[in-house]
Structure 1
Amino acid sequence: MIWSPDAEQPPPADTGGKRGRKPAPISRTAGPSHRAWLEPVRGFLFASGLTLNDLVDRSGYSKTRISELLRGNGYYPAWEITFSVIRALGLPAGPMRRLWTAAAREARKEPGWIAHCIRQVAAEPEHPPVAHQAFTETMARAYTDYAQAFVLTDHRARWVVAETFDLLWLCWSEAATSEDIRRYAWRLLRDRVMARADRHHDGHPDLRAAVFSTTEVRETEPGHLVVLTELVDLFDAIARLPYDQMDVAVLRYLCGMHPDRIPQVLGLSPAICHAIDHHLRAALEDLLRPYSPRE
């Protein structure tokens, strides 16, 4: 049940039963990694029809502590109470444990505290869906290339992609019944990348630093600023495009992906991708016109 204003996800499907009341909003103090697992957990609770009292009965923790966990309020929750909540909701422990651990580090919890929390709950064998494993193997390289354009280092890109794949496993039943699982997963990846991308003051992502990883810059003679300046303007213009246009531009022109591969990665038809590519070229011309030398 991943949802964000930019993720373009549909609301959870109706379960046929009476839904519980939506939890109070997530605290603004919750970091990106904390929100990454908290949003789907809240979505699953709401879609399940369980009330807060039901969750209290199933987890064995007080209403106050469960409420704080669901809001991301107060201290970062221990793994034991987090595990009790996801077990009550029927969510897989393996990906949640990794997501919880990443968020604990983000919250600056000591490694000893994290290890102690995890030891309190016996680890379970991980059995990801076979289709999920096949999907992640197919998409890993393309996803990592896209993420690296925004977060710059290979290590950070792989970390964001791993987070995406764990969230996809967490929501696999919803993803598998969506209109196109490739589209579902791509929107999830983009959401996680945008949560960590550097941004300009006006809110759009900042791609300018990606210029220095391009072949044109690496092969340009030192001190040759024309190519560098032109690429900075181009990358900044790409980052100002609507998301679908930006995605196609990044994959094709920054990552060097073959046009035939892009529809498979984005979960769009070849015709739609071709139309997007056509429109983004015109949009880039308009955006770059102010930077063109005056006649």
Structure 2
Amino acid sequence: MKPPQMPEQPGGDPPHRRGRPPESICESAGTAHRTWLEPVRSRLVASGLTLDDLVSRSGYSKARLSELLRGKGYYPGWEITYSVVRALEIPVSPVCRLWKVAAVEADKDPAWIKSRIRDVRFDEEEQPIAHLGLTQAMWRPYTAYAQVFLQSEQRARQAAAETFDILWLTWEKATTSSNTPLHAWQLLRTTVLSRTPKRPGGHPDIRAAAFSTTAQAEISDLGERLARIDLQAQFFDAISRLPADHMDITVLRYLCGIDPDAIPGIVGLSPALTHTLDHHARGALNELFPDTDTQE
């Protein structure tokens, strides 16, 4: 007797087989490691491939692939990472950049990182035109926002670059969302805040920004300057306690100096809603600091 045939899907296509989701990522995996690992895992689940399928496509054992997908053990080399990325048809260039950042996080020697990359030759993919346009338009405001929280220009640029790389990896999801600019902005905020020190209440700590304002730098009297810094540190701390959208608009307009007319396009909100959030944020801050000029 012949074994029963699997029913065909509408249109005559063979039945779609969905693989079992991989086990959870190990707690020992660092933040940067998770940055590229999570999109890879999501693509595997969406593809419907099983771990056995991945074994046949990549040439690596099931045990090694399982460890890679869980972030278990030693940080994976680029060769096995590349084989999985290619098997899942994921853009290689952004994953490679994110892999290097995570390798530094894992205390890998620069020579080790360079040699692993050199051992695998691949062609750079062409960046999607729409993604390139978004990157060019949002690079400056994204970096300015990140620097308020991370202080260092280098760290701010890295956070923005990582955001655009993650966005490239998940570009299909971003472009099928109802609001691509909002999707991208929320990704940036998550990336930045995950790297920002936290106050005991859990809100971000941006008090250090008080040391680099233009106003206090122009004060010659040391005592007056220190008093001004203390007041501004309290003021910035109050900003960080605002609801997320209120905080974002306040940071962009008053700490980054972004043109108010440009902010709706940056955060993906309507001009009317952006204006309302700005008004409410200034009202809340003025109640706490009635003698302080918010614009100043």
Q: TM-score range by the shorter chain?
A: 0.7 to 0.9
After TM superposition, what 4+ stretches of structure 1 lie above 6 angstroms from structure 2?
none
- CA distance in 2 between counterparts of 1:17 and 1:134 reads 36
Letter of the 2:243 partner, please give it.
P
Residue matched to 1:223: 223
| Alpha-carbon offset, residue 86 of structure 1 | 1.0
- CA distance in 2 between counterparts of 1:209 and 1:268 reads 29
**1:104-123 alignment to 2 at 5 Å?**
104-123=103-122
Cα RMSD for the two superposed structures = 1.9
Residue matched to 2:48: 49
- CA distance in 2 between counterparts of 1:263 and 1:182 reads 9
- CA distance in 1 between counterparts of 2:74 and 2:238 reads 41
Q: Which moved more, 1:113-122 or 1:71-80?
A: 113-122
Residue matched to 2:22: 23
SS in 2 for 1:37: helix
Letter of the 1:198 partner, please give it.
P
Which runs of 5 or more structure 1 residues have no equivalent in the other structure?
1-15, 290-295
Which runs of 5 or more structure 2 residues have no equivalent in the other structure?
1-14, 291-296
Give CA-to-partner distance per residue, 1:88-144, whole Å, 9 cap, x none: 111111111111011001101112221221122112133111111111111110001
Are residues 203 and 17 of structure 1, via their aligned partners in 2, closer, same or farther at CA, if it must alter by over 3 Å? farther
Q: Residue 233 in 1 paired to residue 242 in 2? A: no
**1:1-295 alignment to 2 at 5 Å?**
19-221=18-220, 222-224=222-224, 225-285=226-286
CA contact (8 A) 1:237 1:288 kept: no
- CA distance in 1 between counterparts of 2:200 and 2:29 reads 22
Give CA-to-partner distance per residue, 1:25-79, whole Å, 9 cap, x none: 2111111111111111111112222222222222121111111111111000011
- CA distance in 2 between counterparts of 1:176 and 1:258 reads 26
| Alpha-carbon offset, residue 24 of structure 1 | 1.7
| Alpha-carbon offset, residue 279 of structure 1 | 2.4
Residue matched to 1:9: none
CA contact (8 A) 1:56 1:66 kept: yes
- CA distance in 2 between counterparts of 1:168 and 1:128 reads 11
Letter of the 1:258 partner, please give it.
D
| Alpha-carbon offset, residue 285 of structure 1 | 4.6
- CA distance in 1 between counterparts of 2:165 and 2:269 reads 23
| Alpha-carbon offset, residue 284 of structure 1 | 3.0
Letter of the 1:108 partner, please give it.
D
Identical amino acids, percent of aligned pairs: 55
| Alpha-carbon offset, residue 263 of structure 1 | 0.5
Letter of the 1:173 partner, please give it.
E
Are residues 200 and 57 of structure 1, via their aligned partners in 2, closer, same or farther at CA, if it must alter by over 3 Å? same
**TM norm structure 1:** 0.88
Are residues 228 and 37 of structure 1, via their aligned partners in 2, closer, same or farther at CA, if it must alter by over 3 Å? same
- CA distance in 1 between counterparts of 2:255 and 2:169 reads 30
Letter of the 1:101 partner, please give it.
K
Using CA pairs below 8 Å that are at least 6 residues apart, which structure has the higher relative contact order? 1
Are residues 206 and 18 of structure 1, via their aligned partners in 2, closer, same or farther at CA, if it must alter by over 3 Å? farther
SS in 1 for 2:261: coil
| Alpha-carbon offset, residue 18 of structure 1 | 5.4
CA contact (8 A) 1:20 1:52 kept: yes
Q: Which moved more, 1:235-244 or 1:280-289?
A: 280-289
**TM norm structure 2:** 0.88
